[in-house]
Chain A
Amino acid sequence: MTKGDKILIIFIIIVSLVSLGFVKKGAIGYKEKYVSIQVNGKEYKKIIFDNAVIGKTIPIETEYGYNLIEIGDGKVRVIEADCPDKIDVLQGYISSPGELIVCLPNKLVVEIKGIEETREIDHISH
């Protein structure tokens, strides 16, 4: 192990921690959040969290495969999948905006998105 190796390791640790901070920082500052389920890049379903949807399961059956998604109290997870590795099931709940569950074989992305506070002005009258 040379000096260059140590510098490289420290450099990568710093870079990844800083970018991790940026990813997490993007998660705060949202008033409301919703679940966006995307299959093959297109939005398949959009679910806004409220008390009515807690405990609901959503089956997603597409030409790429089958996944079962469960909505919890402000969180979401995949509980069943027909993909071979089941990484999406093992990942468990996600809850903050920007977090996502990906199932690569089924081309499925479950993402939590934030709704930004609307600062736009609806109407101006002179």
Chain B
Amino acid sequence: MKRLNKLIFLSLLVSIGLALSVLESLIPLPITIPGAKLGLSNMVILVTLVIFGFKEAIVVGILKSIVLVLITGSISSLMYSLSGAILSCIIMAIVYKFFTNIFSLIGVSIFGAVAHNFAQVSVAAIMMYNARIYSYLPILLLTSLFTGYFVGLSSIYISKNLKKNLKSYSR
């Protein structure tokens, strides 16, 4: 039963991530930089990482990216979101596992957002055969600070609450 419960909870997390991704695409941003977005679904990956662990988090991240393509219908964006999700998940897992005494979840989330942007810009540069795309990176880093901060802040509250409720299912 424990296994089934965990499975159901993970698929719920994937669907929450999907809903957040769709929702954030409806929110207009004051700045028009390609690739800049709120990254609300990163919250789901971070919470999964805290409660279940690295393996589950990367599964949720990859599943979310693949199913999101079915919703938005743009296959070209699969490469960007997949690379971003995988790299940010790995970086966040490393920071969360080894540097928890230095960084809180806010720091972990900022690391994740920076890694996500870096991966996306790199994939864009490779796909367009143009290294000048990296000139977007400084602005994207600044935006990822804001988004990473708020995602981290909300993840702290979510994971604090969920940890209490899901103590029996985790690990």
Contact = CB atoms under 8 A, between A and B. Distances in A.
A1 B32 contact: no
B132 A100 contact: yes
A92 B32 CA distance: 9
B106 A38 contact: no
B54 interface: no
B130 A16 contact: no
A12 B109 CA distance: 13
Given A16-B141, A99-B135, 8 more contacts: A2-B104, A2-B107, A4-B102, A16-B138, A41-B128, A84-B74, A100-B135, A104-B127
B104 A5 contact: yes
A102 B133 contact: yes
Which applies to chain A's interface (DSSP): helix, strand, loop or mixed?
mixed
Interface residues of A, number: 33
B96 interface: no
Contacts of B34: 87-88, 91, 102, 104
Interface string A22-52: 0100000000000000101110000000000
B129 interface: yes
B135 A4 contact: no
**Residue among B102, B106, B135 facing the most chain A CB atoms (10 A cut-off):** B135
Interface string A65-90: 00000000000000000001001101
A30 to B, nearest CB: 15
A99 B141 CA distance: 17
Given A38-B130, A102-B124, A91 B141 contact: no
Contact of B128 (A8, A87, A90, A109): A109
A58 interface: no
Contact of A13 (B102, B129, B142): B142
Interface of B: 32-34, 72, 74, 76-77, 80, 99, 102-104, 106-107, 110-111, 114, 124, 127-130, 132-133, 135-139, 141-142, 145, 149
Interface of A: 1-2, 4-5, 8-9, 12-13, 15-17, 19-20, 23, 38, 40-42, 84, 87-88, 90-92, 98-100, 102, 104-105, 107, 109, 111
Given A5-B107, A8-B110, A13 B145 contact: yes
Contacts of B139: 16, 20
Contacts of B145: 9, 12-13
22 contacts: A2-B102, A2-B107, A5-B104, A5-B107, A5-B110, A8-B107, A9-B145, A9-B149, A13-B142, A16-B141, A23-B135, A23-B138, A38-B130, A40-B129, A41-B128, A99-B135, A102-B133, A105-B77, A107-B128, A109-B128, A109-B133, A111-B132
